[in-house]
Amino acid sequence: MHLSAETGIVTGASRGIGLATVTALTAEGARVAGISRTVTPEVHETGAVAVTTDLGVPHEATAAVRSAVGSICSPTRPPTSPSPTSSPTAARRRRCSAPGEHRGR
């Protein structure tokens, strides 16, 4: 599976299944933001954008998601782990959906 044209936000990213999900997604080339209360060295090792916040606090959750989207959807940010089969065409297609926009296939 190659996810070089995909982006994702993973919560609980500092350990357990959240960290495993971040690791798997970045290994396949996806741009990923990992949100958690603490940031572990393992999160940084994946190449994901680490965002620290307490999602139980509504205004912090909103700010964390905005920060994550801004970080992984920046047109100047390179993929976290480029796929060896990535093409320039795939790189040009890479973008993030606008809020409320569905990216159906």
Distance between CA atoms of 42 and 8, rounded to whole angstroms? Answer: 18
Residue 100 forms part of a structural domain: no
Count of structural domains, the chain: 1
Residue 57 forms part of a structural domain: yes
Please report the pLDDT score of residue 4 as a whole number.
81
Range of the domain at 17: 7-80
pLDDT > 70: percent of the chain:
69
Please report the pLDDT score of residue 25 as a whole number.
95
Distance between CA atoms of 101 and 87, rounded to whole angstroms? Answer: 25
Residue 90 forms part of a structural domain: no
Distance between CA atoms of 6 and 59, rounded to whole angstroms? Answer: 26
Residue 53 forms part of a structural domain: yes
Distance between CA atoms of 87 and 45, rounded to whole angstroms? Answer: 25
Residue 12 forms part of a structural domain: yes
Q: Which residue ranges of the chain lie beneath pLDDT 70?
A: 74-105
Please report the pLDDT score of residue 98 as a whole number.
47
Distance between CA atoms of 29 and 7, rounded to whole angstroms? Answer: 9
Read off the CATH number of the domain in which 39 is found.
3.40.50.720
Q: What is the pTM of this model?
A: 0.67
